[in-house]
Amino acid sequence: MSRRGPLVGEFFMNGDIACAEGGISAGCRFFAGYPITPATEVAERMSSRLPEVGGIYIQMEDELASMNAILGASWAGVKAMTATSGPGFSLMMENLGLGIMLETPCVLVNIQRAGPSTGLPTLTGQGDMMQARWGSHGCYGIIALSPTSPQECYQHTIKAFNLSEKYRIPVLVMADEIVGHMGEKVVIPPPEDIPLTPRRKPTVSPEEYLPYKPDADLIPPMANAGEGYRFHVTGLTHDERGYPVMTAEAQDRLVRRLVDKIEKNKADIIEIEEDGIDGADVVVCSYGISARVSQFAVERARDEGIKVGMLRLVTVWPFPEETIRKIAKRIKAFVVPEINCGQIALEVERCAGGAANTILVPHMGGSAHRPETIIDAIRRAVR
Amino acid sequence: MKRDEIILGGFGGQGIILAGYIMGKGASLFDKKHATHIQDYGPEARGGACRTEVVISDSRISYPYIDNPSILAVMSQEAYTKYSPRMRQDTVLLIDENLVKPKRRKHNRLFAIPATRIAQELGRTAVANVVMLGFITAVTKVVSVEAMKQAVLESVPKGTEELNMKAFDRGYSYGLEKLKTAEGEGK
C-alpha cells in the first residue's frame, strides 16, 4: 500500500474532497460515517486517504453510530470527524448532544441538501442552519462555520478541528451541495505552515485530576483514556469528577458553563468579512454559496449607484450579535439571502432590534438564488 | 474582464461531469486562470440527464452559474433540446453527431463530430468524452491544448493514459480539420 502524508501544492478539487483533505492536514486519523448524497465524496476520499496516513476509516451501520464512533475515537486521543447531509444530520443530533455534554473535540461536516425529509438529495439547501444551532435537545453553545468555496472547505475543516480542541466541543462545518460539489483550485500549504491546536492536557497528577474541573477560561483539560488518569464520562448531568448529580444546582453549574465557554469567548471564535459597510445604506448579510451570489449582486447594485455593503458570516454560530447591532444603527436595512424560508434572517432581525429593517430573500432549495432576485431586494431596501 | 462560460450536457455515464472537471482543472492549474466547475445530476445512477458548467475568467468568480453560455457542447438530444434555447447569437455549439440531430438552420456556429463512433473505433465508448474535449479545445481554444492534455493525463484512471491521449488527439485533429474547412457548418 502506498503511503502518502498530507498533500502539498495546488489541486483542482471539489469541496467535499477539500473537507477530507482539510481533515488529513488537521491531523484527523479517524473517520466514521454513512455515505449520503451529497456528502459521500468526503467519506469516499477518507476511505482511500486515511489508510495512507496510518488512520482508520469505518463505514458504520447508520449516522447514530457514526457520531458515537467519532466521540469514542476522540476520547481515545485521536482526532476524528464524520460527514453527512439531510436526514443523516437529523440522525446525528442526539449524539451531537452527547458530544457537547461530554465536551468532546470532533468535527461534523454537513454538506446541506434541500429538505425536509429526503427532499432533493442531489441539490442544494441551507435549511439546517437553525438545526445546527438548536438541533439537539437542551441548552448549549455551539460553533458552526460556513465555507463558500473548496478552498474554504479545506481551511474551515482545519479551523473546525482547532476550535474543537480549544473549546472541547464538536464543531460543525455547514457547507452545502453547490460548494461541496464545486470544483475549484485549492492551495494546500506545507504541514509546518498550518497552525494546529493541540489538546489541552492535565497539568496535575492522576490523583489530583478532576476530569470536568475547568481552567479560568471555562475549558477543562482533557486526559485521554489509557493515559493513567481516571476516566469517566456520562451524558447525565455531572460534577467536576464526572459523576452524575441529579440536582438543579449541578445542572446550573454545568449547563451555564457549557453555554458560557462559547459565549464568553465569542470574540476569539467569531470570524466575519465586511466589504464596503462604512457609508452604506443597505447591508447584505449572507453565508455559504448564498454569500457568493450576494457578492455578485452587491457589485451590480453598486454599478447602479446604490450604497450597499456586504457582511459575510464565516462563522455562523456563535452569531455576531454585536456587529449586527452596531451596523443596524447606521443603515436603513439588512438584506438576507439564504436557501431556506428564513433562519439567519430571524437572528439578524432580532439583533437589529428595530433600528434597521430586515428583508429576507428566501429560496426553498434546489439551486442558488438568481442574482436579479437579490438586486431587486437591495433596490427595495433603499427605497 | 474575459469570462468564458461553457455548458456540457449529456446523460449520466458519458463522463460529462468528468469532462467539465478536466476542463476546469486545465484552465485553473495549468493555464493559471480562475475556473469554477459545477455539476448537476439527478438521483439516477446512470441514464438521467446531467450537465456541468465551467466558468473560466481572468478575475475571481463569485457567481458560478451560467445563463447564456459562450460554448455549448452536447452529447444527447435531450441536452440539446434543453440547453440550446439558452444560446446567444455568438455561442459556439458543439455536438456529438451520432447522438444529436440539431436544427441546423438555427445555428450559425455549429461544429459536429462523431465522438462516440471515434471512441468505438478506439475500442472504448467510455472515452467519447475525451474525444469531445479534444474537439472543444481545437475549435474554441478556451483552454490551451497543453493544459488540457495535462489535465486529462492527471484525471483519468491509471493505465488508461495512452488510450485517453489517443482519444484526445483524434478529437483535437478532427477539430482542426473542421476549422480549416468551414467557420461553422451551419453557414
Cα–Cα distance measured from residue B158 to residue B133, given in angstroms and rounded to the nearest whole number: 19
Residue B184 has pLDDT above 60, yes or no: no
Q: Does a structural domain hold residue A353?
A: yes
Range(s) of the domain holding residue A281: 273-382
What integer pLDDT is reported at residue A4 of this predicted model? 77
Cα–Cα distance measured from residue A136 to residue A100, given in angstroms and rounded to the nearest whole number: 9
- Residue in chain A closest to B54 (alpha carbons) equals A183
Q: Does a structural domain hold residue A68?
A: yes
Residue B181 has pLDDT above 90, yes or no: no
**Looking at the structure, do residues A332 and A184 belong to the same domain, yes or no?**
no
Confidence of residue B156 (pLDDT cuts 50, 70, 90): very high
Spell out which chain B residues touch chain A, with contact meaning CB-CB distance below 8 angstroms: 20-21, 24-25, 28-29, 34-43, 62-65, 151
User: Which residues from B are below 8 Å from A14, CB to CB?
Assistant: 37
Residue B106 has pLDDT above 80, yes or no: no
CB A113 within 8 A of CB A121: yes
What integer pLDDT is reported at residue B105 of this predicted model? 74
Closest alpha carbon to A283 in A343, A324, A342: A324
In percent, the amount of chain B with pLDDT more than 90 equals 82
Q: Does a structural domain hold residue A89?
A: yes
What integer pLDDT is reported at residue B187 of this predicted model? 44
CB A305 within 8 A of CB A165: no
What integer pLDDT is reported at residue B108 of this predicted model? 82
Tell me what ipTM this predicted complex has.
0.91
The number of beta carbons lying within 10 Å of the beta carbon of residue A9 is 10
What integer pLDDT is reported at residue A350 of this predicted model? 98
Q: Does a structural domain hold residue A242?
A: no
B21/A12 touch (CB, cutoff 8 Å), yes or no:
yes
Q: Looking up cell 472541547, which residue turns up? A: A168
Q: Does a structural domain hold residue A27?
A: yes
In percent, the amount of chain B with pLDDT more than 70 equals 94
Domain count for chain A = 2
- Residue in chain A closest to B42 (alpha carbons) equals A122
| Helices assigned H by DSSP within A85-206 | 86-101, 129-134, 150-167, 177-181
Residue B122 DSSP symbol: T
CATH number assigned to the domain comprising residue A77: 3.40.50.970
**Looking at the structure, do residues A53 and A159 belong to the same domain, yes or no?**
yes
Cα–Cα distance measured from residue A343 to residue A326, given in angstroms and rounded to the nearest whole number: 21
Q: Does a structural domain hold residue A1?
A: no
Instruction: Give residues 215 to 254 of A whose Cβ lies within 8 Å of B.
Output: none
What integer pLDDT is reported at residue A1 of this predicted model? 41
Give the tens place of pLDDT for each residue, B33-62: 999 999 877 766 667 788 999 999 999 999
* Beta pairing, strands A106-114 & A120-124: antiparallel
What integer pLDDT is reported at residue B44 of this predicted model? 66
CATH number assigned to the domain comprising residue A335: 3.40.50.920
- Pick from A162, A193, A224: which residue ends a domain? A193
pLDDT averaged per 10 residues, chain A (length 383):
78 98 98 97 98 97 98 98 98 98 98 96 96 98 98 98 98 98 97 97 95 96 93 93 97 98 97 97 98 97 98 98 98 98 98 98 97 98 93
CB B30 within 8 A of CB B145: no
- Pick from A147, A171, A193: which residue ends a domain? A193
**Looking at the structure, do residues A287 and A189 belong to the same domain, yes or no?**
no
Which residue ranges make up each domain of chain B? 3-181
Longest dimension (CA), chain A: 69
**Looking at the structure, do residues A39 and A187 belong to the same domain, yes or no?**
yes
Is B3-181 assigned to CATH 3.20.20.100?
no
**Looking at the structure, do residues A175 and A313 belong to the same domain, yes or no?**
no
User: Which residues from A are below 8 Å from B63, CB to CB?
Assistant: 292-293, 296, 371
- Residue in chain B closest to A178 (alpha carbons) equals B38
Rounded to the nearest angstrom, the minimum Cα separation between B104 and chain A is: 31
Query: What is the reported pTM?
Result: 0.95
If you count them, how many residues does chain B have? 187
User: Which residues from A are below 8 Å from B42, CB to CB?
Assistant: 122
Cα angle at B46 between B44 and B51, to 5 degrees? 85
Residue B84 has pLDDT above 90, yes or no: yes
What integer pLDDT is reported at residue B13 of this predicted model? 87
